[in-house]
Structures are given as C-alpha cells and as structure tokens.
Chain A
Amino acid sequence: MASTACFVIVSKNDIPIYEAEVGSAPKKEDLSYHHQFILHAALDVVQDLAWTTNAMFLKSVDRFNDLVVSVYVTAGHTRFMLLHDSRSEDGIKSFFQEVHELYIKIFLNPLYLPGSRITSSHFDTKVRALARKYL
C-alpha cells in the first residue's frame, strides 16, 4: 500500500464531490491542502489530455516532486484523481475501474443528484477497501 494516496472524485464542474486520504501514512492536517493544490492544478493537464485519447484511464498525467497524479475520466467527464507515490500502474487501473463501478451505482440512485457530494458511507468504506487491495 502506498504511503501517500489521496483520492478525489471531481465532478464535471470541477467541484470535488468525494475526497479520501487512503494512504497508510498518518494523516496530517497541513498536507491535506497540499494534496488539494496538486490535484487541483493537475486538472489543467487533464483538461488537455482527456480529449486526446479514447481510454478512460489516462495513466499518470502530472507529477509534483515525487508525487504522481493518475487520472481516470468517465464518460460523463467526472474525474477520478489519485495522488500517489507508488508505481503500480496496473493496481491503480484496477482501482479506478472498480471505483467506477461503485460510482455508477451511486449514480443510479434516483435520490442522488449528479454533481452533488457523495455522502454515502457505504461508498466510502468500499473505496477504502479497494485502496487497501490495489494500492
């Protein structure tokens, strides 16, 4: 498992709708804004990159020092962004694909307004379990 891993789902309006620190390193308050900055800045790169490929998984799109941002873009242009320091691309890809399935389930919920924050605790535990499994 990666020591640092910050997973964020960004809606198509660039609003984070789900955030989770899934790394094994103890969470530090001052780092959370740091991670947000990196992920937020990486959106610029994703914006360009997303239209150059058919693949949903864009691999690593941006890096900041030793932290890498990997991105997965869904058909609705919701972006799954993972900030990590590990190198296992396959694991990340599987992670994203499984999260995508979870996300679709959330999306199918008629009470979920697309683009609003995902507050489901079930989703949260599932994502964290996936992170433990793949990252």
Chain B
Amino acid sequence: MDPLRSYLGRLLLEEITPVVMVLTTPLAEAACRKSGLSFVDMLAPFSLFKKIDVPVRTASEVPYRLQMFKIRMVYASDVRKEDYEVADERIKPVVSEANEKALPDLLSDPPQLEDVLGKPEAELCPLWIKKFNRELMQTLSYSEHETFDHPVACLLVVSSMDKEPISKFVDLFNTNQLPSLLNEGIMDPQILKHYLVLHDQQEGPQDIAVNVLAEMRSTLGLNDCKLLCINSSTEADGSNTDNSWLPYIKDFMQDFASNHIIPYMEQKIRVLNQQVATTRKGFRNQIKNLWWRKRDDVPEAPNGPMYTFTSIESQIRVLGDFAFMLRDYELALSNYKLLATDYKLDKAWKRFAGVQEMSGLCYFMLDQSRKDAEYCMENAFSTYLRIGSSGQRNATRCGLWWAEMLKTRGQYREASSVYFRVSNEEPSLHSAVLLEQAASCYLLSSPPMLRKYGFHLILAGNSYYMSDQKQHAVRVYRNALFVYKQNPWSYINDHVHFNVGRWYGVLGIIDVAIKHLLEVIACSHQSLVTQNMFLNDFFHYVQSMGKKFDVYKLQLPVFNMSSLRVIHEDHRTYASDADVGVSESTWHELEEELIPSSSVVRTNWLDTQPKSSRKYKDSSVCVAGEAVKVSVELKNPLQIPVDVSGISLICQHSTNLDALTSDVSGLTLDGGEDKVNTEPSVSVFETDEENFVVSKLDIILGGGESKRVQLDVTPKVEGILKLVGIWWTLSNSVVGYQYFEFDAQKKNKKGKRGHRRSLNSSLVVIKGLPKLTGSIDRMPTKAFAGDLQLLKLNLRNHSEYAVKGIKMKISNPRFLIPGDSSDIGLKFPHCLKKHTQSEINLVPYKSTKENFKGLLFAFPQDIEIQAGATLSWPIWFHAATPGNVSLYISIYYEMESSSDIKYRTLCMHYNLEVLPSLDISFAISMSSSRLQEYIVRMDVRNKTPSESFVLHQLSCVGSKWAVSALPSCSSISSVETVSANQAVSCFFKIKDFEADSCKEADRGSYRTDMTLYPGSSGDVFDIARSPLADFHFQERYRQGKLVKGPCSLLDFVVISKAAGNSSEPSPDLQLLSHHTCHCSALSQSPVWWIMEGPRTITHDFSKSYCEVSIQLVIHNSAAHPSSVRVVTSDVMPEKSQTVHPHDPSSVQGGWYDVSLENDIKAISSAKGTQHEKQSSKSISPYVWCSLSSAQIELQPDSCARVPLKVCIFAPGTYNFSNYELQWKVHPSEGAQVDESKNGSSGSGQGHPFYVTVLQSV
C-alpha cells in the first residue's frame, strides 16, 4: 500500500506541515468577525492545497513536484506549549460529544457477530475517535525538542482602517508579544515575514487599502506585501450576493504557499544542508565530533543539555523537519540518523526519542525497511517511557503513530498491543478510547480474535465508567455482548450483564437494564453477598419502573419443565394425588375386567368407533367442574430466600368444539419459541373467569430449596381448555411467565406410555359428571404381619347425579377383602368368634371358588349412591406377609344420566409397611405309637424387637383334622405369651377324624380348634367363616405356589393377640392371624404300622420258654391297594459284618457298611432300599417263631393285622423291632405317573416295641 494513501500517511501530510504564525491587529480581526469568523478560520479552508503542483528542489539537484500541500495557520498567541490539564479539558468534549450521538444506538439491539465482522474498518473506528487521536497528538504541539511546529513564516495582518498601518506592522512583530518559545531562543525568530492589509469593502472604497499597500511596499518590501479584500455585507449571505472576494483569498493563499513559503523552505534547507555538510559530514568532522562530545561530560539532565536554535543539533533537526515537510524523506532520514547518534552521546533522551520517532516515520513514508521503522518506533516509544512523566504524552503520540503504521501494514495484533501499552500510560478517559481502538484492532486481525476484542472492550468500558462516560461504557459493553453470549464462563457473564444492566439503569433506560439484570439474578455460583447485590439492584430498577412487568422465562425460581405433570380425570379419577404416580399398567390391569370392553377394544379395524369417542380421539378429556391439576417442580437457585406468589396456570378456553382438531394440532406443533413471538404479553390470558377458575399459590422458597407445587384449573363450561403456561410473581414486583413446551417429539415419546401421560396441552372439557371420592377409614400404614382388621371403605358422591353398578377390584386380595354388607355393624373382633354349636364349622368354602383370584367384587346391584350421599362398605384387612406392599383399588361405577362418558373409575392406592411379627413353623412327624396320628411341633418365634404376643388359638383348617395337646402336657399355659425376640416350641397331636379305622378314638379331646390361652375356651375364633376363611384361601393359594413337596397334609391357622405393653394398653384388641399352609409330615409312607401286644409278661422260665403273641397292625393310607410283606429276622442288627445280599433277613437297619459291590447288587434286588443291609452274627435273644415272612394285600384305607409270635428264653426287656415291612402300592389303571414314582414301594424297619418279661415267682 502506498504510504501516502494510508491513513497515517495522510495524517502526517496534514499534521506535519509548515506552521504560519499569524499576527493581527484588533481591527483586522474585527473585520473578519463580521463574517463570524476569526482570521485564521477564514483562511483555514484555503490552506489545504489538493493540487498545488509546485516544483521543489532541496539538497539534491533533481527537482520534484509537490502535489498536496498544507500550511497551518495559527495565531501567535497559540504558539506555546499548553498545560496538559488544559489540553485534556479540550479533549473531553470530543468524547462526550460522541456520547450524545451514541445514545439512540443504545436503545437498539446489541450488535451480533455477523454485523460486527461485516463492518468496514471506518465504522469500527468512528470519526470521533480519529478526532480524539488528533487532539491527543496536538496537545504536544510546540514542544521544545521538535521543530516541525516551529513557525516557518509569519503573517502580519493589519486592517485598512488601522491608523498608521506601517507602524502597526512594526508593533505587531514586537518581541514582547511574540510567543515565549521564540524569545527563549528555542525557535528561530528570523523567519519569513509576510505583510497583509485586510480591507473590508463594506467599510469604504478600495482606494484606501491600495494606498496603504503602496506605502507598505515602499517601506517593507515589494514582494512581501499583499492586499486582501473581503466583503462582510450582511446581505451577502444570499446567492445573489457578490462572493467574488473568496477567490481572492484562495489566490492569496496559493501565492503565499508556492511563492513564499516553499521557496523559503527550499532556501533554508539548502543553506542548512550546506552548513551541516561542512561541519558534520566527512571523516574529519565525525572524528572531531566524537572527540569533542566525549570530552564534554555534561551533567545528565532529563532533557539533555539545552540546545538553542543556533546549536548545530537544532539546525540539523530543523533541516530534517523541513525536509520531511517538503517530503524529501531521504534527506530527512539521513539528518535524523545523524542527530540520533549525537543525542545519544549527549544522553538527551527526549530529543533522541523524538528523532527516532521521526526516523521511523521517514522509513514508513519511504515504504522501505519495515523492520527499521518498527525498531525506530519501538526505540522511541520505550525511550519516552523511560524518561518518565515528561515523556509520557510523547510516548502516547509515538504509540498512536506506531499503531497506525502497523495497522497500515495489516499487523493488527501488534497494533492492538501497542494501543494497550499506550493506554496504560494515559488517564482513564484516554485509556478508554485507546483500549477501544485496541479492541477494534483485534477484530480486524485475521482471523478475528473475538475474545480479545471482547476483553478489551470490557476494559475500555471500565475506563469509560471511571471517567464518568456512562453512555460510552454501556456502548462498548454492548458491543462486547455477542462475544459472551451463551458463554459458559459464568463470572464473565455475570460481570458483563450486571454492569450493562446497572449502567443502563443509571442512564434511565430501565427496561433494557432489567433485561440484562434478569440474566444474572439466577446466579447460583456467586457468593451470598453478590447474589444479594444482584437481586437488590434488580428489584431497585424494577421498582423504579413503577409497574409490574412481565418477563418471559424468568429464571427465578427455576421451573423444571421436565417435571411437569398434567393430571386430569376423565374415565379415571383418583382418590388422592399420590395415586397418579402409580404406573399406568397397574391401573390398566386392574381396570381390564372392570370397564366395559366395547369402548376399549375394537374387535377389528372395520368396526367404526362410536362418534363421541372419535371426537376426542387424540385429545384428553376433562370434566367441567373438576380441577385439572398440574404439578411442577420449582427450584430456588439462590442462597437467598425468595418470595414467589400467585403461581398459577395460564389457560385459554374456547367453547368452539369444532375448532378442536385443527386447533389442537396447530397449537401443539408451534409450541415453544414461536409462540413467544406471536404472543407478546401474558396479559392476554389474564382473565376468563366465567369459563374457568385457576388456583393461586404463594410460597417462599428458602435458599437452594426445591419444591413441587400443584396448580389447579377448573373449567366451568364445555369446550376446549388449553394449558398454555405458567406465571408467577416474584417478590410482588416481577411477573414471570413461561409457556409449556409441547414439542412433537416429546409427545410421541410419552405417547408410548399411554395417552394419559402425554403432555397434551389441550383438554376437551365435557359436561359435568358424577364423581365419587373414596377413602378407607383408618387404613394403617404400618402393621404387623398377620394383623387382621375390619376397615370401612367410604365412597362419597359429590355430584348431583346418582351412580350405580358399582364394582371394585383389589390388586392384592391377600391383604384386602371386601366384606359383606352385614359386616358393617359388627363389632370386631367378636364377630369372628365361633357362635353356638348350631352352625359349627359346617360352612364350606363357598365363596372361594368363585373368588379364585379374588380380584373383582361387585357391589349388590341395588346399591346406588345418591347425590351427596356416602356409602360405607366394610373391608377386611389382613397383613399377610412382611415387607412393603402397595395396594391398589379400582372402583368402577356407572352414570345414571346419559352423557359422553358412561362410566368412571376411582383409583385408590395405599402403601403399607408390614413388619414381621410371629414366625410360626410346624414340623409334623408320624406318630409311631398310634395309627393316623401325628406329632406336631410348633415353633413360634417373635421377631419384633419390643412387642409381645399372646398365642390365642391354633386351628387346623378343614374338618378332617383335629388337634389336641399331648396327654403328658395337657396344660400349656406356660407358653401363653411370646415376648420380644423369644422363641417357643409346643407339641401337639393331630388326628385324622375321618379315619374309619380309628373311629373309636375319643372325640372329646380332639377338635379342630384348640385354645392356647387358658380360660378362654369359649373365645374361639371361627376360621371357617369369612373373612378368615377367605384370607386363608388366599394364603393357601399363594403358599401353594411355593410348596414343592408332593402331598400336603393340612393347614394351620394360629391366631394371636398383641399383648399390649403394660405402659400402653391397647384399646381395641389387635388380632393377628398366621396361616401356615401345606404342612406335611417329615417322612410319609403309605403304610402305617404299629405293634400291639402286652407290654409286660410274667412267665416262669423254669418251665419253658416264653411265647409272646403280638400283633402287627398295618394300615394302608394310600389311595390304592398295596401289598405288604412282613419279614422277621432273628439276627441282631449289631456288629454284623457278613453280608448276604440275597437273604431278605439280612436286610436290616442299624449300622451299615458301605460296600460298592453290595450296593449295586442290593439296588438291583430291591428298589427303594436306601439303607444298606447289614447282618449280625450274634444271635438275638429272642426268636420269631410263627413265620419269617407274611404277605398281605391291603385295600385303601384299611387295616390288617398280622399275628406274630416271639419266643423268649430268659427274662428281660426286649425290643421286638427286628422285622421289616416291604410294601408295594399297586396303582389302579390310569393312575398318575408321579404317584407311582413317589413311595409306591418301599420298606421300613420295625418300630421299637419293648416288652418286659418277668420271671414269675
């Protein structure tokens, strides 16, 4: 790029130009004032020559032509160094003037990235900044170490009205009035003088002036005097007036510049160059200079030694500057270089820096050696900085030039760092402007460094703010906003928005202020103090707004929209809000059998749906007069409690049903952001009182607190209700609102889970319907396992219509069973007691079969719940198993009145914690001494930590079995109470009532129920009646799934009572029933045998051996005939080692030896003989005598007696157990396979049977 065309080039051409000092008489000045201008102002437009086209010849012999030229006209009084303070005051208006221009911009939107990048450079660096830069540079004018501000010529002006103009000229150039710089010897007072007589044609004929001019020419010289005519007539403003005097000025200036100033400068350059050449150029001079300077050890002053205009250094400088002004940069550069060494040696740092600066500019203008140029500028800059405060402003100017130079060359990053360095040296206002320029440089660099841009703008903004330029501060912050938009750097974000907001507030643009402050009020990461400050400022401005205003998506508190739940009741109604959280499938399963199937399923796709249901095909339905509930979670991100009031829904209601289909889809699809644009204010939705009522909720959220709130809207008339959004008031001053975003995707996702959950914003409101509310009185939340209670289900009809056809389904009939209408008045637990003998345990399980699943319960058909009436229904509760249980109840009812919806369901849900109480287990073994009798061991363990229970009753279920205490311990009163953590075991006998073989057994001591609690024999609870029987059936069903064993013998029910701590007497008796089902004997065989015979025999062994007759009673309890073989053996089981595998008599119990060889053979011989045979060599003390083996066939459930005889040879006690039974069940035709597997054949050792034989006396 041609340096002359660059900004810096033009700047230098305009700024570093010859100065013409102007001295005017008051009258001359007055003449100009008539036109409203000073003399200098009048000439100013004509002092710039775009195309002067003058040939110039400086030191070299080759002339060149000068195109653009400018001279600076200044009053002599201005030729002085200004105070910095005064100069700075002059700069201030430049900035603040721009301030006012910036104001309207502040109301518009902040610029975006694309806008900023697309801007041309000129816009980034507006005119006022350039002006500011110039003004800043001009504060350095007429400094003593530079000469380009020294006047080249002097223009003396008198008016033609002045008396004695000649003497006036002399007076004007009186040294007393001349600038001090001239007098102090810094500037050369011997300068070109030009004399001008100013004539206003309004004040007289031109002749006077011509006369004066002639006089001047004679005395002051022919060429240096000029006449300038002006016309100050007031009428001259119009177009018709004579402006012909203006060209005069132009001509005058042209002449002045080309014929006087430039030749004068040329002349001076040549003279000075000659002088320099003789004194400084050449080898001899250099040596001399070096030697002379070295010797000259002047004490170091900050500015070096004083140089007067006559000193050679000053003259070289003048030479250089003149050459620079006449654009002979090479000449200038060589002189500056020369000077630089001199000044360096003299340690005149300020001058050195000034010279370096100029060399840098020369290099630039020559467009050669960029590196040198930069080096010079850098050198100058750092030198200025080094000399301290006096060089500070010079450093600034140098920096500005340097930065411009870098910008011209496209080195924007370097330029901006220069600006940044400069800004550190300047007061805050200047530094702000400089920082802003630095920022714009970052933007211009490629690639644009946006973050740096933003950062420097922020720095600039802070400086502006410090120097009280708030508009500017806001402006630069605004410009930086786009850099930090959506920025995750939280502190930056907060700082920017908070400051922008605050300053907008200070400027009185409160709405924008609030908009920005809104961004920061939800700052959870800031400290409490900062949060408080943000919030206070926010509320301050909000209050100064003087009215409530709406904020879309106010961040305080945060509404968690993903937690949004819409609860509306159509077919299904809920007893409480907690019931809504239950998964859809649970209710659906419950309702499956309840609701009429026609409305749920179409049998095939050809079936047309009823018209009404098609109408609401895709939309949710709610009922007029019933609240639609919306629950949403809100969170306070701050540590400060916030007051949120008036939280309510925004709804729209339209009564036009036909609009539904199109409207609904339209609304749901364009949800979210689009809607915000089209719906500007929340006030549109404000009131529609006659169509619907919304609830309002006030809460205070503590710091960091989250709450779930429920909002209601109750439509009053039919139509369509749209849930649009939510609004709330923060601290009574800000209304925040937020729209629900139902986008299509989410809807689909939710839709899978059933239409009820989908977040459909539109609800079809249908005519009012009856609605039941239901609850269970005193439903426990905690219970001990086995707890049995009678509860009351209350159903209340709130509407004006009656409902009928009530049905109920309970998810878990183990826990809840509906009672009978007759149960309602009964007194618990006495109603469970067994009544008089009349109906004793003859009631079979009548209802159990039909209630197999026990889920569906239909209330009697005649029951209707009238409007406003309440129906109470007994319901039995039994805590079956320990654990956490959820109970679901669904109640179905139909409408009396005809409407769109024919039926509704009421969903109830209870959560229950069942604690373990008594753990009861039974062990049953066959009695070896009685047929058809079992010994039962009942282990009761109390698992509670503190409760004790009283065992009340043990019952066998069914009429087949009877229980009785063991004869030895008929009183078991010692076990009446089971204290906490204790275990108790009791033994009982049970007997098969129906065993015909045992009919003779006394019935007196056997009954199905046995009281365990002494003195309460009358208080036996009847387990054969509802509800105990029902619950038992359920238990049996459930436990049956767990039991693996083949045959179950019987079920037990133990009823216990909570003992009630002495400290806490329980008012109503707590009853617990424990059901243990499918108990079976530990070992069960189809054949049951006992030995019968005399236990004591007296015999005279002296006569003969004793013969004892005993009987083996064998009972076949299997369902099929079986054959039994009795084998006796005379060999004692003990100590037998020899094995006779094929000898049946050797198959004996007792100790056995594991021998593989035998084992295999044994298995082949007798399947089911698990115990290994053994034989004894020792002779047993008795001998079987009648038979060694007998085979009998037994019919099912029949007994047979096998007579046996034993011979005994000596008195003693004998154990006649040395026999074995082998049986085989013959399954009938078509018997199940598994029966043949299980114990169809087997064998058993004889039970011990002790007989004492005494020697008779």
Do A and B interact with each other, yes or no? yes
Q: Which interface residue of A38, A40, A65 has the most chain B CB atoms within 10 A? A: A40
Q: Point out the residues of chain A lying under 8 angstroms from B489, CB to CB.
A: 16, 36, 40
A33 touching B451, Cβ below 8 Å = no
Decide if B527 is an interface residue (CB 8 Å cutoff): yes
A38→B458 CA distance, assembly (Å):
11
Q: Point out the residues of chain B lying under 8 angstroms from A42, CB to CB.
A: 451
Q: Point out the residues of chain A lying under 8 angstroms from B488, CB to CB.
A: 14-16
Q: Which of A15, A36, A45 contacts B492 (CB 8 A)?
A: A36
Of all chain A residues, the one with the shortest Cβ separation from B495 is A33
A32→B492 CA distance, assembly (Å):
9
Q: Which of B452, B458, B530 contacts A44 (CB 8 A)?
A: B452
Give the residues from 4 to 55 in chain A that come closer than 8 angstroms, CB to CB, to chain B. Answer: 14-16, 29, 32-33, 36-38, 40-45
Q: Which interface residue of B488, B494, B530 has the most chain A CB atoms within 10 A? A: B488
Shortest C-beta distance, B482 to chain A (Å), equals 14
Q: Which of B451, B490, B491, B530 contacts A41 (CB 8 A)?
A: B451
A87→B530 CA distance, assembly (Å):
33
Of all chain A residues, the one with the shortest Cβ separation from B442 is A44
A35→B212 CA distance, assembly (Å):
74
A29 touching B527, Cβ below 8 Å = yes
Q: Which interface residue of A14, A29, A32 has the most chain B CB atoms within 10 A? A: A32
A37 touching B530, Cβ below 8 Å = no
A41 touching B452, Cβ below 8 Å = yes
Shortest C-beta distance, B1017 to chain A (Å), equals 67
Q: Point out the residues of chain B lying under 8 angstroms from A33, CB to CB.
A: 491-492, 494-495
A37 touching B458, Cβ below 8 Å = yes
A40 touching B530, Cβ below 8 Å = no
A43→B442 CA distance, assembly (Å):
13
Shortest C-beta distance, A36 to chain B (Å), equals 5
Q: Which of A15, A16, A44 contacts B449 (CB 8 A)?
A: A44
Q: Point out the residues of chain A lying under 8 angstroms from B442, CB to CB.
A: 44
Chain A-chain B contacts (Cβ-Cβ < 8 Å), number? 42
A32→B488 CA distance, assembly (Å):
14
Shortest C-beta distance, A97 to chain B (Å), equals 25
A14→B484 CA distance, assembly (Å):
12
Q: Could you give, for residues 428-462 of chain B, a 1 whenever the CB lies within 8 Å of some chain A CB and a 0 otherwise? A: 00000000000000100000011110111010000
Give the residues from 707 to 763 in chain B that come closer than 8 angstroms, CB to CB, to chain A. Answer: none
A38→B527 CA distance, assembly (Å):
21
Decide if B606 is an interface residue (CB 8 Å cutoff): no
A29 touching B530, Cβ below 8 Å = yes
Q: A29-B529, A37-B458 are in contact. Are A44 and B492 (CB under 8 A)?
A: no
Give the residues from 480 to 510 in chain B that come closer than 8 angstroms, CB to CB, to chain A. Answer: 488-492, 494-495
A40 touching B529, Cβ below 8 Å = no
Q: Point out the residues of chain B lying under 8 angstroms from A43, CB to CB.
A: 451
B492 touching A40, Cβ below 8 Å = yes
Q: Point out the residues of chain A lying under 8 angstroms from B424, CB to CB.
A: 65
Of all chain B residues, the one with the shortest Cβ separation from A44 is B449
Q: Point out the residues of chain A lying under 8 angstroms from B526, CB to CB.
A: 29
A114→B527 CA distance, assembly (Å):
28
Q: Which interface residue of B424, B490, B529 has the most chain A CB atoms within 10 A? A: B490
Of all chain A residues, the one with the shortest Cβ separation from B483 is A40
Shortest C-beta distance, B419 to chain A (Å), equals 14
Q: Which of A32, A44, A65 contacts B491 (CB 8 A)?
A: A32
A41 touching B495, Cβ below 8 Å = no
Q: Point out the residues of chain B lying under 8 angstroms from A29, CB to CB.
A: 526-527, 529-530
A44 touching B451, Cβ below 8 Å = yes
B452 touching A37, Cβ below 8 Å = no
Q: Point out the residues of chain B lying under 8 angstroms from A40, CB to CB.
A: 451, 454-455, 489, 492
Q: A29-B527, A29-B529, A29-B530 are in contact. Are A37 and B492 (CB under 8 A)?
A: yes
Of all chain A residues, the one with the shortest Cβ separation from B459 is A37
Of all chain A residues, the one with the shortest Cβ separation from B491 is A33
A37 touching B455, Cβ below 8 Å = yes
A15→B488 CA distance, assembly (Å):
6
A104→B307 CA distance, assembly (Å):
68
Shortest C-beta distance, A92 to chain B (Å), equals 22
Shortest C-beta distance, A78 to chain B (Å), equals 14
A41→B450 CA distance, assembly (Å):
8
A33→B456 CA distance, assembly (Å):
14
A40→B451 CA distance, assembly (Å):
7
Give the residues from 522 to 549 in chain B that come closer than 8 angstroms, CB to CB, to chain A. Answer: 526-527, 529-530
A37→B456 CA distance, assembly (Å):
10
A41 touching B454, Cβ below 8 Å = yes
Q: Point out the residues of chain A lying under 8 angstroms from B490, CB to CB.
A: 36
Q: Point out the residues of chain A lying under 8 angstroms from B530, CB to CB.
A: 29
Q: Point out the residues of chain A lying under 8 angstroms from B456, CB to CB.
A: 41
Shortest C-beta distance, A83 to chain B (Å), equals 13
B450 touching A44, Cβ below 8 Å = yes
A19→B442 CA distance, assembly (Å):
26
Shortest C-beta distance, A46 to chain B (Å), equals 10
Q: Point out the residues of chain B lying under 8 angstroms from A44, CB to CB.
A: 442, 449-452
A38 touching B491, Cβ below 8 Å = no
A45→B450 CA distance, assembly (Å):
11
A5→B320 CA distance, assembly (Å):
51
A14→B449 CA distance, assembly (Å):
14
Q: Point out the residues of chain B lying under 8 angstroms from A16, CB to CB.
A: 488-489
Give the residues from 151 to 196 in chain B that come closer than 8 angstroms, CB to CB, to chain A. Answer: none
A41→B488 CA distance, assembly (Å):
14
Of all chain B residues, the one with the shortest Cβ separation from A38 is B455
Shortest C-beta distance, A113 to chain B (Å), equals 15
Of all chain B residues, the one with the shortest Cβ separation from A15 is B488
Q: Point out the residues of chain B lying under 8 angstroms from A45, CB to CB.
A: 449, 452
A29→B523 CA distance, assembly (Å):
14
Of all chain B residues, the one with the shortest Cβ separation from A63 is B417
Shortest C-beta distance, A68 to chain B (Å), equals 15
A42→B454 CA distance, assembly (Å):
11
Q: Which of B449, B491, B527, B529 contacts A36 (CB 8 A)?
A: B491
Of all chain A residues, the one with the shortest Cβ separation from B526 is A29
Shortest C-beta distance, B428 to chain A (Å), equals 15
Q: Point out the residues of chain A lying under 8 angstroms from B449, CB to CB.
A: 44-45
A43→B449 CA distance, assembly (Å):
9
Q: Point out the residues of chain B lying under 8 angstroms from A38, CB to CB.
A: 455
Shortest C-beta distance, A50 to chain B (Å), equals 13
A56→B894 CA distance, assembly (Å):
76
Of all chain A residues, the one with the shortest Cβ separation from B498 is A33
A29→B532 CA distance, assembly (Å):
13
Shortest C-beta distance, B452 to chain A (Å), equals 5
Q: Point out the residues of chain B lying under 8 angstroms from A36, CB to CB.
A: 489-492
A98→B121 CA distance, assembly (Å):
45
A38→B459 CA distance, assembly (Å):
11
Of all chain A residues, the one with the shortest Cβ separation from B488 is A15
A42→B452 CA distance, assembly (Å):
7
Q: Could you give, for residues 201-240 of chain B, a 1 whenever the CB lies within 8 Å of some chain A CB and a 0 otherwise? A: 0000000000000000000000000000000000000000
Q: Point out the residues of chain A lying under 8 angstroms from B491, CB to CB.
A: 32-33, 36
Q: Point out the residues of chain A lying under 8 angstroms from B455, CB to CB.
A: 37-38, 40-41
Q: Which interface residue of B450, B491, B495, B529 has the most chain A CB atoms within 10 A? A: B491
Shortest C-beta distance, A7 to chain B (Å), equals 14
A38→B455 CA distance, assembly (Å):
7
Shortest C-beta distance, B289 to chain A (Å), equals 42
A33→B490 CA distance, assembly (Å):
8
Closest 10 CB pairs of A and B: A41-B455, A33-B491, A44-B449, A33-B495, A15-B488, A36-B491, A44-B451, A41-B451, A44-B452, A41-B452
24 inter-chain pairs at a CB distance below 8 angstroms, sorted by A residue, are A14-B488, A15-B488, A16-B488, A16-B489, A29-B529, A29-B530, A32-B491, A36-B489, A36-B490, A36-B491, A36-B492, A37-B455, A37-B492, A37-B495, A38-B455, A40-B451, A40-B455, A41-B454, A41-B455, A41-B456, A42-B451, A44-B450, A44-B451, A65-B424
Residues of B at under 8 Å CB distance from A?
424, 442, 449-452, 454-456, 458, 488-492, 494-495, 526-527, 529-530
Extra A-B contacts (17), CB below 8 Å, given A29-B530, A37-B458, A43-B451 = A15-B488, A16-B489, A29-B529, A36-B489, A36-B490, A36-B491, A37-B455, A37-B492, A38-B455, A40-B451, A40-B454, A40-B455, A40-B489, A41-B451, A41-B455, A44-B452, A65-B424
